[in-house]
Structure 1
Amino acid sequence: MSSPYKGGCEHVHVTAKAEPIDNHECHCNVCKSVTGQHTTHVAFFNYGDLAVDHPEKMKRQPFNADNPGGPLELCTCTECGAPLMLDDKQKRIRVAVPNVMGYDDAAFPGASYHAFWDETKGYDKPSDGRPVYEGLRPDFSWPASAA
């Protein structure tokens, strides 16, 4: 059975081997800055569940410009510049942003909650029936490092 979660570009293919361990609508300022979107649909996968066929063709840069030593790196294609995934230097998770990383966004389950919303955002609290949290959902546990 092939994965419904295939992204990347024509040079680097990213494929999921399992379902996401977290799937949320992100309101954080870093996602806003990187994607230019008001909110961003984000899917976390266990580190080993998101595979890349040509890691040698990935350029890595800090995901958070204000915290360049942070754990997440934005990986882009060295040939075309397409965003491919977020990679965790601690090897706990890999992250897909379906609508900007070459995935069929409709193949992903809808985000189950809103993350990183607070009153300083300058807009009304989401009221679509999904839970809204100031961080990740309270029951989320970071996976152990795959290293």
Structure 2
Amino acid sequence: MAAKYAGGCAHVHVTSNAEPIDNHECHCNVCKSVTGQHTTHVAFFNYGDLNVDHPEKINRVPFNKDNPNGPLEICVCADCGAALMLDDKQKRIRVAVPNIMGYDDAAFPKASYHAFWDETKGYPSPTDGRPVYGGLQPSFVWPKGA
């Protein structure tokens, strides 16, 4: 049976049948720097819900170049260099960026809110009717790590 969410590349497959625990449009400067996008659709999964078939084929690089020892790492394919997921060293979450990491973006639920927006970025607040927050939505609770 095919996974509900499937991404990755020809060498490493990243899959989940679980729903994301958070699904937002990110406006943070780190996402902008890493993706080159104005905003980025980001889906958080519980750590154990996003599965990798060949973890031995993953290279890891810091997600935030200004905080290289931070908890998140970008996982890329050792064979082709494709971005696969963000992995949390504390094993709380794994993150899919559907339009960059080989997923069918249309298969994901629409991002339910805007995260990490702030007025100093020089563009107007989103007006699409979804809530806009300066961080993650207030009801988000980080899962316990392993």
Using the size of structure 1 for normalisation, the TM-score is: 0.98
Percent of aligned positions that are identical:
80
Match of 2:117 in 1: 117
C-alpha distance in 2 between matches for 1:121 and 1:68 = 23
Match of 1:135 in 2: 135
Aligned-partner residue type, residue 69 of structure 2: G
Contact 1:23 1:43 in 2 (8 A): yes
Alignment of 1:2-81 (within 5 A): 2-81=2-81
C-alpha distance in 2 between matches for 1:79 and 1:120 = 39
Aligned-partner residue type, residue 119 of structure 2: E
* Gapped regions of structure 1 (runs ≥ 5): none
1:17, CA displacement in angstroms?
A: 2.8
Cα deviations across residues 79-122 of structure 1 (Å, max 9, x unaligned)?
00000000000000000000000000000000000000000111
1:4, CA displacement in angstroms?
A: 2.1
C-alpha distance in 1 between matches for 2:73 and 2:117 = 22
C-alpha distance in 1 between matches for 2:4 and 2:56 = 24
Contact 2:23 2:113 in 1 (8 A): yes
Contact 2:16 2:50 in 1 (8 A): yes
C-alpha distance in 2 between matches for 1:106 and 1:144 = 29
1:20, CA displacement in angstroms?
A: 0.1
C-alpha distance in 2 between matches for 1:65 and 1:16 = 28
Cα deviations across residues 41-99 of structure 1 (Å, max 9, x unaligned)?
00000000000000000000100000000000000000000000000000000000000
C-alpha distance in 2 between matches for 1:7 and 1:60 = 17
Using the size of structure 2 for normalisation, the TM-score is: 0.98
- Equivalenced residue count is 146
C-alpha distance in 1 between matches for 2:3 and 2:77 = 21
Contact 1:58 1:75 in 2 (8 A): yes
* Gapped regions of structure 2 (runs ≥ 5): none
SS at match of 2:14: strand
> What's the Cα RMSD here?
0.7
Aligned-partner residue type, residue 17 of structure 2: K
